[in-house]
Amino acid sequence: MSIALMVLVGVWSLSGRIGQQRRIDAVVETLENEADDTLLLHCKPLGHWPGHKAYQFALLTTDRKEGAHPFTIASHWQDGGELCFGIKGLGDYTRELATRLQPGMAVTIEGPYGGFDFGTADKPQIWVVSGIGITPFLARLEELAARGGGTAAVECFYCSNDQQSAAFGSRLEARRGKPVSRCTAGIASAKDVWRPACNR
């Protein structure tokens, strides 16, 4: 690649034109505070959202000075619906979102991006998940529910220090047996010993 071409690509990137065709305006609908410093952010697209798959992420801009941040989409897409992001408070920016964002505020969403293969819904699956990593699986559960469920069992083991500090634990519990055949909340002790907390 020539130096001139590299400079051109750099200018194109810095100008914010990469992904411009995938960028839409949206508005904050609701915010839910989950356990373990986790925020569930619901946004309503104002432009055309092309749809997404259960494992994809989007770049969310809440402040132009701060720029875009990638977050996994934690919801199944239905036309006219909303996008939901599960955000863990790991740094200054993500920790402040719960207090800085308010319903009605404008945001920008770019995407969707990424790929993850859940395979087919007709073969048994075991999901082992921890922390904020649960978000794509929540989207997959919604996707299965919208389709009337899969034909094979899915067992989801959600690893947490205890049930009270497990973000989205109540959402998994609500999904137990419908449409997922079994959803097991797993608690890992300090010695990494699995202790199933609940079974159908």
Whether CATH 3.40.50.80 fits 125-196:
yes
Phi, psi of 66 (to 5 degrees): -80, -30
Question: Start-end ranges of CATH 2.40.30.10 in the chain?
Answer: 20-113
Residue 8's pLDDT is 47
Tell me how far CA of residue 138 lies from CA of 16, 61, 66, 151, 169, in angstroms.
31, 22, 28, 18, 10
Helices and strands (H, E) in the chain, number of each type: 4, 11
Residue 72's pLDDT is 93
Residue 32's pLDDT is 92
Question: Start-end ranges of CATH 3.40.50.80 in the chain?
Answer: 125-196
Residue 4's pLDDT is 53
The residue behind tokens 């990137």 is 13
- In tens digits, the chain (200 residues) has pLDDT values of 566 545 444 444 444 555 678 899 999 999 999 877 899 999 999 989 999 988 899 999 999 889 999 999 999 888 888 999 999 999 999 999 999 999 999 999 999 999 777 877 778 888 888 888 888 888 888 887 787 766 677 777 777 766 666 677 777 777 666 545 455 545 444 334 344 444 33
- pTM given for the model: 0.76
Residue 133's pLDDT is 85
Give the separation between CA 136 and CA 166, rounded to whole angstroms.
16
Residue 14's pLDDT is 46
What CATH superfamily classification does 20-113 receive? Translation factors (2.40.30.10)
CB 87 within 8 A of CB 107: no
